[in-house]
Amino acid sequence: MGNRRLTAACEELVALAGLLSSFGEAADKTLRKLSGMRLAESTVRHTTEEAGTRLRQMLDRQVAFQLPETWDWNRDARDCRCAYVSLDATGVRQQGDGGAKADGRMTYVGMIYNPPACEAKGPIRNRRYLAGLYDLTDLGRQLHREALSVGWQQADVQIALSDGAICLEKFLKTYFPKAVLILDFFHAAEHLAELARTLHLREEDYRQTWGRWRTMMKHQGGRRVLEELEQLDQTGWSAEAQEAWRRETGYFRNNVGRMDYPRYRANGWQIGSGPIEAACKTVIGTRMKGAGMRWKPPATDAVATLRAAYLSQPQRWDAFWNASYLQN
| pLDDT at residue 324, rounded to an integer | 82
How much is the pLDDT for 327? Answer: 62
pLDDT of residue 3: 56
Say which residues have a Cβ less than 8 Å from residue 45's Cβ, sequence separation at least 6: 18, 23, 299
Rounded Cα distance between 58 and 183, Å, is 33
Sheet holding 180-183, edge to edge: 126-132, 101-114, 82-95, 157-162, 180-183
SS3 at position 107: strand
**CA-to-CA distance for 178 and 158, rounded, in angstroms?**
7
pLDDT for 134 equals 96
pLDDT of residue 107: 97
Of 300, 313, 326, the C-alpha closest to 94 is: 300
φ, ψ (nearest 5 deg) of residue 182: -125, 130
Contact status, residue 283 vs residue 86, Cβ threshold 8 Å: no
Strands (E), 3-125: 82-95, 101-114
Q: What pLDDT, on a 0 to 100 scale, did the predictor assign at position 97? A: 85
Task: State how far the Cα of 231 lies from the Cα of 202, in Å rounded to an integer.
Answer: 22
pLDDT at residue 1, as a whole number: 44
pTM of the model: 0.93
Please compute, for residue 192, the number of CA atoms within 13 A of its CA located in the half-sphere on the CB side.
23
Give the per-residue pLDDT at 4. 57
What are the sequence ranges of the domains in the chain?
A: 186-262
Per-residue pLDDT tens digits of the chain, which is 328 residues long: 445 578 888 999 999 999 999 999 999 999 999 899 999 999 999 999 999 999 999 999 999 899 999 999 999 999 999 999 999 999 999 998 887 888 999 999 999 999 988 667 788 989 999 999 999 999 999 999 999 999 999 999 999 999 888 899 999 999 999 999 999 999 999 999 999 999 998 999 999 999 999 999 999 999 999 999 999 999 999 999 999 999 999 999 999 999 999 999 999 999 999 999 999 999 999 999 998 899 999 999 999 999 999 999 889 999 999 988 766 5
Strand-pair category, 126-132 with 101-114: antiparallel
